[in-house]
Structures are given as structure tokens and as C-alpha cells.
Structure 1
Amino acid sequence: MDFTITEDQATLTQGVRDYLAGVHTPELLRALDASDSRRSDAVWQGLADMGLPGLLVPEAQGGLGLSLLDAVLIAAELGRAGVAEPIADTALVAAPLLAKAGGQEAVLEAIASGEVKVALQHPVNPWVADLDGASHILSAKDGALLLAERSSGAELLDSVDPLRRLYAPVAAKGVTVGSADALLDHAALIAAAQLVGLADAMLEQATDYAKNRSQFGQPIGSFQAVKHHLATAAVKIAFARPVIERAAVALQDGAASAPVHVSHAKLAAADAAWAMSETAIQTHGAMGYTYEVDLHFWMKRAWALSGAWGDRAFHLARIDAAVIGGALPIGPGHSFV
């Protein structure tokens, strides 16, 4: 399977990266962390002006009509920049599910314009992210996926990531727009892509520090004990990317094996992000744990997303069930079918 990034995809990805690098800086993350809401209307409006909410909204509803493969490339950039706004949940998960369901043209048009935010609720998560700022909620219940207007009064919870706003699950009634499994797979895929972006950012921060921090008269990055650990984490990141892209294509095409590919992607991405966070902390030394080092924003987001939309045990169980149960035959005769 050819995962070569097209010129259009490369241009879009680089444009998003450049924009986020200019506006979504560590200084902004610290300002958000010091605020009560942890959110910024100006940041959301900037994302809307970039057209990001409409990436996967059909062109007929004012969007760009892009694919899940495009979505994971952009999700990685959101992770790289540590974006706190719920753009991924709304634009990269809710939008394609609602587009596939049909009959939700008005909501899709509002998503594309940036007027609507959609929160996601599934039994696999004991919380709902950004429920307070959402106008709608996609809720998995009894195997079905329901779209409803958000109700108020949910309890605010704590998170290891101070820039995530988590709420207790709420009772939601609405119109059926799909299956609960579809929500889980799409959200887990986008979480995996963000994890790779987070890992990339931590690798860059750790590498820059290793180049600039000197010990015994030379940069610490010249020591094998440092550079070999960085190289090992970099390999894990590189190996996770094609797994995520494979899952995106399988899910886009509706392949029966898509859930297994999604679980593989979530495992590979979470492993890469965990390895990179540990390596980045060690590279920075004792100060790597402190609030004064920007690294902690990306590290805490990686920890949070690793457990979101199915933790390691959950996705390992899905893969085990498919392989041992025979739903996903393995071996050279099946690898490239």
C-alpha cells in the first residue's frame, strides 16, 4: 500500500504547522493554564479562519471534504502544537461520522463555520472532554450513536493534563446517527495521530536541549547514553506513523479489519509517546519534571491521550481476540491481502 504523501497533503500539513507554530506557542499554553476557562475564543476563531473545522465536512456543506488519511496528518500537527481547543473531537471525529449518517446538513454547516462544537461520550471513557463549551454531544448508548443538544449541569473532573476540561458523563437522548463502535474507532485513531505529533514535539525539544546543554566541555547529545535513547524513541515514532495511516485507510474504506488496525495504531502511538516522554525527561535531567520546563505540557497530554478511547489493555484485548479468534489471519499469505 502506497502511503506517499501527495503534494497537496504536504502543502496543507505544512501550512497548518506553520500557522500553529506562530500562534500556539508555549507562552500561550502557559497563559491558558493560568486562566479559569483554559480556553481562548481568539484561538478557536483562528482555527476556524484557517478552515480546520471544515476539513472533513462535505463540500456541499461548506467544508473541504477531505479523507481520514488527511485527518490523521492534521491531527498529528494538533498534537505537535499541543492544541487544547476541542478541534480534533469536533472536526476530525464528529464531522465524518455525521457526514456518513446523512440528514445532519445544518449541523455540518455550523461545524464548518466554527459555530458548533461537538463533545464525544462513550462508555470506554469515564469522562467527556469539553462538554461545557459544546452545543451538541455525540453519545454512545446501547450500541448506538446518538446526536443530541448538550444539557447543562455536568460535574467538572480533574485531569493529569491541566489543559483538558473533563466532565462526568451525562444522560443524553437524541437521534441515532451511527454505531458506538464507529465513534470508538474514529476517536481512537485521531487520538493515536495526536500522540505521534506530541511525541514529535517532545523529540524536538529533547534534541534541542541535548545540542545546547554542555557537560565536560561538549554537548550532552554527543554522549551515547543520550543519543542512543533519543534514536530509539525516534524509531518508535517513525514505525507508528504508517500503522496509523494504514488504520485511517482501512477505516475510510470500511474494511472489516479496520477495528484491529485502529487498535494497532493506538498501541504503537501510545508506546512511542510514552517512550519519548521518558526519554525527554531523562535528557533534561532533574529539571525535566519541573513546571518551568515547557516539556510538561506535551508530556501530560501524551499521558492523558494514552488512556483515552481505550487504554493499552483494551486495545491489546481487541487484537488478541481478532488474531486468536481467527478474524484476522496472520502469516506471509495474509500480510498484504
Structure 2
Amino acid sequence: MDFRLPPESVELAEAVREYLGGTHGPDVLRQLDAGGNRDLRIWQGLVEMGLTGLLVPESEGGLGMTLLDGALIARECGRACLAEPLVDTALVAVPWLIARGETGHLAAIAAGEKLVALPHAVNPWVADGEGEELASVDPLRNLVAAPEGAGDDPLLLDLGALMSAAQLVGLAEAMLDQAVAYAKVREQFGHPIGGFQAIKHKLADVAVVLEFVRPVLWRAAQAMDDGLPSAPLHVSHAKYAATDAAYLAAESAIQVHGAMGYTYEVDLHFWMKRAWALSGAWGDRNFHYHRIEDAALGGAHPLGPQHTFA
């Protein structure tokens, strides 16, 4: 059994990371925060890379890739703290529409001409929808109140939770990177604080947690691609674990930066606030904890090593 990610998928994710790193840095986040949250040029760049059509079938003008590929790209969107609603439309709405046989808008989505904002009963808001505007802890999210009677489609919930988990992993990785970079240049008692054992241990703890979270995320995406009955359990595991990892990364990065880690002047706050926002999206930590608990204790998912790779 080969647990490695497909090389072509990794190469695409690396290309997206390089592109977003060069076009969507902290300076861009500050410009967006000061001037409307959205930039058509950024969106057009995502379209030209084919990301809006990542999961759209080739027959509809897309790339026809998998949810595992989608999770890899969502991770990069989190790492870059991407403001544009790429994940909600291209990585959540598209596979949901395909599963329902509603393919009429796929070509327009792939071309970047249409956004799809889907409500779900678990969310009291809709991202980039139309309606009564809501305030968000994340200044770069555009939220409106969810319509009354929003459905509770389980597939939509799992897709949203999976892609939120992927973004949380990317956010945690970026916050760790920022904390490490700061620890190398911030001096105390004549030495970089990164040389102090307490700082090393704090950052190492985050790195270790992320090593354990990433395979949980990839397994959840593959389980959904394979249509496994246990896929919702794996998705909840991924969302639960990714939320904890992002919170640990945020807390540790703030502490490494000192008290100013909370302030607007430090770039970290964009990633930290996005992590807080996504931790409650598509089911919060308690919601997914109870889904795991119900599956394990209720007998829906048998326990034991003989079932691990069934």
C-alpha cells in the first residue's frame, strides 16, 4: 500500500504555493483590508491557473481532478490566507453540484464567471452571498446571514468541513513559519530568542502536531474520493485535529512574538483571525468531536487494528 501523495498533485500544489507567495503576501492582505476585500486581478490570476476549474470535469472546461487534489490546493489557500472565495465555489460547491447532477453552471464556474455560495444549517452565515451583512472576526471574509430553512445536506457538510480543515492546516503551517522567522531575528540578552530551549520546544511542539495532522487530512480526502461509508468520520477527525493544530500554532506564534503578536501591526493577526473563523465553519470542534464519539461508541465504525485499513 502506497501512502505517498501523487507526484503530479504535489507539483501542482507547489506551483500554487509559489504563485500565491508572489502575489498574495501580507502587503496585499493589508491593501485588501483597507479597500474592499476583493481584487479582480487576483481572481483572474486564479482563473488563469485553472484553479476555478480544478474539480470541474474536462468536458465542462475544467481539469477534472480529485478531492485529494482539492484539499492540497485548499491547504495552500490557507497558507496564503487567500481572501478570494475560491475554496467555497471551486472546491466545495463544484463537487456538491456534480454529485447532484446539477452541471449547468460548471463551465461558467471554471471560467471564473460565476460564484456559488451555499447555505447549510450548521452555519449561521453564508460566505460571499447576498443578503444582510454580518461582521466577522476575520476582516477579509464577506459574510451574510444564512437564509431561513437552510438544508442540512450531509455531503455538503463533509465537503465544507474537509476544505476548512485543509485551510486550517495551511494556516497553521504559515503561522509556524512566521514564528520561526521571527525567532531567528528577535534578540534578547544579546542572542536570537530562537536559540533558547523554551522557544525551540514550543515551536517543535507545533511542528510535531502538524506532522500528525497532515495524514489525517489526506486520508479524509481520499476516503471521500473513494466513497467510503466511513468518510464522514474521517472528515470529522480531520476538522477536529486541524482546528486543534491551528489553535496551537496561533497561540505559540503569538507567544513567540510577545504581546505585540495580537496587534494589527504584526502580519500574524491575519492568519490568526482566519484560523479562528474557520475553526467554527462547517461544524466547530465540539460538533465534530461528537460525530466521532457517536460513530465510535455507537458501533457505526468498528474499532481495532483489523479495521484500520479495511
Q: TM-score range by the shorter chain?
A: over 0.9
CA distance in 1, matches of 2:147, 2:124: 10
1:59-70 pair list within 5 angstroms: 59-70=58-69
| 1:134-188 deviation line (CA, Å, top 9, x unaligned) | xxxxxxxxxxxxxxxxxxxx11011111111110012589xxxx97000000000
CA distance in 1, matches of 2:84, 2:2: 32
Structure 2 segments unaligned to the other structure (5+ residues): none
SS in 1 for 2:306: coil
1:103–1:156 Cα change, 3 Å? closer
| 1:96-154 deviation line (CA, Å, top 9, x unaligned) | 111222242x300001000010102101011111104xxxxxxxxxxxxxxxxxxxxx1
1:57-136 pair list within 5 angstroms: 57-104=56-103, 106-132=104-130
CA distance in 2, matches of 1:322, 1:44: 40
Does the 8 Å CA contact 2:122/2:152 hold for their aligned counterparts?
A: no
1:4-23 pair list within 5 angstroms: 4-23=4-23
What does residue 161 of structure 2 align with? 188
Aligned match for 1:278, one of 224, 242, 251? 251
CA distance in 2, matches of 1:171, 1:57: 29
CA distance in 1, matches of 2:61, 2:152: 25
| 1:231-287 deviation line (CA, Å, top 9, x unaligned) | 001111111110011111111111111111000000110000000000000000011
What does residue 138 of structure 2 align with? 161
1:314–1:277 Cα change, 3 Å? same
Does the 8 Å CA contact 2:202/2:252 hold for their aligned counterparts?
A: yes
CA distance in 2, matches of 1:258, 1:249: 8
Does the 8 Å CA contact 1:3/1:245 hold for their aligned counterparts?
A: no
Question: What is the CA-CA distance between 1:335 and the residue it aligns to?
Answer: 2.0
Structure 1 segments unaligned to the other structure (5+ residues): 133-153
SS in 1 for 2:167: helix
Question: What is the CA-CA distance between 1:333 and the residue it aligns to?
Answer: 2.2
SS in 2 for 1:162: coil
Decide which structure has greater strand share: 1
Question: Partner letter of residue 167 of structure 1?
Answer: V
Aligned match for 2:182, one of 193, 209, 220? 209
Question: Partner letter of residue 256 of structure 2?
Answer: T
CA distance in 1, matches of 2:204, 2:299: 36
Question: What is the CA-CA distance between 1:214 and the residue it aligns to?
Answer: 1.2
SS in 2 for 1:120: coil
| 1:175-225 deviation line (CA, Å, top 9, x unaligned) | xxx970000000000000000000010010000000111111211011111
Question: Partner letter of residue 30 of structure 2?
Answer: R
SS in 2 for 1:270: helix
Question: Partner letter of residue 93 of structure 2?
Answer: A
Question: What is the CA-CA distance between 1:51 and the residue it aligns to?
Answer: 0.8
What does residue 262 of structure 2 align with? 289
What does residue 334 of structure 1 align with? 307
What does residue 147 of structure 1 align with? none
What does residue 42 of structure 1 align with? 41
CA distance in 2, matches of 1:60, 1:172: 34
Question: Partner letter of residue 234 of structure 1?
Answer: A
CA distance in 2, matches of 1:62, 1:78: 22
1:179–1:256 Cα change, 3 Å? farther
CA distance in 1, matches of 2:273, 2:118: 21
CA distance in 1, matches of 2:127, 2:219: 27
Task: Provide the TM-score with structure 1 as the length reference.
Answer: 0.89
Does the 8 Å CA contact 2:125/2:146 hold for their aligned counterparts?
A: yes
SS in 2 for 1:292: coil
What does residue 151 of structure 1 align with? none
Question: What is the CA-CA distance between 1:3 and the residue it aligns to?
Answer: 3.0
Aligned match for 1:221, one of 194, 197, 217? 194
Question: What is the CA-CA distance between 1:5 and the residue it aligns to?
Answer: 2.1
SS in 2 for 1:167: strand
Does the 8 Å CA contact 1:202/1:276 hold for their aligned counterparts?
A: yes
Identity of aligned residues (%): 62
